[in-house]
Structure 1
Amino acid sequence: MKKRKVPLRKCVGCQEMKNKKEMIRVVRNQEGEISLDFTGKKPGRGAYICPKQECLKKAEEHGGLERSFKTFVSKEVYQTLQEELVHDE
């Protein structure tokens, strides 16, 4: 029997490759709004992040989301993402 390939994604915070299902997708839609996508099915450009506060903090410090989305991400967006991440845990 063939072994299925596990999709891996790189965290924009810690830069580690992990299983796609272990990570949270952050998505930017066509209007430019950025939000967390727990289902992985929202339309738009996606970036993946570990479900840890440290990874979100690293992504903010090193511009991980800006690099992935090729646009400026404001402090308010990071604050909202942090609140949603805490609420989910």
Structure 2
Amino acid sequence: TLNRELGITSVLVAHEFAAVRETADHVHLIANGKLVASGTPGELAKGDSPWTAQFFGGALEGPVPFQYPAPPLAPAFGFPGARS
């Protein structure tokens, strides 16, 4: 890795596992201000916890809620009686 080549330690903040997998030797996953998982990218990719399964494995369900209501599309398509 770049760190090994240069003999340095660095901190990378990322929300994309591809960048983490290619860059990091060791990963700390922090959620809600707490350390919820720690290990190599390969270890965390196994998804042994709900946090790692959702973040690294792409699980749709998990501890991170995704509750973003979609905007109403019916008015955009001109459906009668549709509310915006």
Shorter-normalised TM-score: what interval?
Answer: under 0.3
So what's the TM-score if we normalise by structure 1? 0.26
Structure with more helix by fraction: 1
Say which structure, 1 or 2, has more relative contact order (CA 8 Å, 6+ apart).
1
Greater Cα radius of gyration, structure 1 or 2: 2
Structure with more strand by fraction: 1
So what's the TM-score if we normalise by structure 2? 0.27
